[in-house]
Chains A and B, each alone.
Chain A
Amino acid sequence: QLQLQESGPGLVKASETLSLTCTVSGGSIRSSSYYWAWIRQPPGKGLEWIGSVFHSGSAYYSPSLKSRVTISVDMSNNQFSLKLSSVTAADTAAYYCARHGWATWASDIWGQGTMVTVSS
């Protein structure tokens, strides 16, 4: 059964770059049927899509974050990663990695999430 696990620092300083990795186990990131996504939830707020990447490296990003976000794939390690630059307190959130269908964009498998706090 495919599982996702986020990893990375829980504390990031303001103006620096947030970096997280999602490790895919029990299946291959090379699947042509799925995208691999990052989604976040600030404390007390709703879910926000950050972006999605295909195994080829082709990526789509939220317009509001596009200038600061890079999502990439590491097929040799069956992982995909998120980099968010110039972070502020507004980027403090629980970050989830997830898999969604290339056609439906429905996320059927999620990681447990990791809390990232931006400190000043």
Chain B
Amino acid sequence: QSALTQPASVSGSPGQSITISCTGTNSDVGGYNYVSWYQHHPGKAPKLILYDVSDRPSGVSNRFSGSKSGITASLTISGLQAEDEASYYCSSYTSSSTLVFGGGTKLTVL
């Protein structure tokens, strides 16, 4: 299985909004609403910020939102804050009963 495709990097200024895309195939992203997003700060464990495309776990800021169209899922972060600077990964359940991650996107807050 191939990794989901994410942009290597994105950037934005505090207060702005950014969107990170995650492109797969009809066997993963396009076939199921089981897309998750993780925030990963260096040296720490990844943190789940969205699941089932757009649902937020308890305690996660509503500045994080998700959507999906066809084989591409998207994470939007609104009202960027310095603490949002991290790497972001998408993942998807696949038709082979496996899990696949995206290559990761490094977010820089300018």
Contacts and interface: CB of A to CB of B under 8 A. Distances in A.
B98 A106 contact: no
B38 A47 contact: yes
B46 A108 contact: no
Interface of A: 37, 39, 46-49, 52, 60-64, 96, 100-101, 103-108, 110-113
6 contacts: A49-B98, A104-B93, A107-B46, A107-B48, A110-B46, A112-B44
Interface string B43-65: 01111100110000100000000
Given A46-B3, A47-B46, A96-B45, A104 B51 contact: yes
Contacts of B97: 60
Interface residues on B, range: 20 to 34
Interface string B11-32: 0000000000000000000000
Given A104-B34, A106-B36, A47 B104 contact: yes
B48 A106 contact: yes
A105 B52 CA distance: 9
Interface of B: 1, 3, 34, 36, 38, 40, 44-48, 51-52, 57, 89, 91, 93, 96-104
Given A60-B97, A104-B34, A108-B57, A96 B46 contact: yes
Given A46-B103, A49-B98, A52-B99, A113 B34 contact: no
A62 B52 contact: no
Given A46-B3, A104-B34, A106-B36, A60 B45 contact: no
Nearest to A108: B48
Given A46-B89, A46-B102, A96-B46, A106 B52 contact: yes
Given A47-B89, A104-B36, A104-B51, 20 more contacts: A46-B102, A49-B91, A49-B101, A61-B98, A62-B1, A63-B96, A64-B1, A96-B45, A96-B46, A101-B51, A103-B34, A104-B34, A104-B93, A105-B36, A105-B93, A105-B99, A107-B36, A107-B91, A110-B47, A112-B44
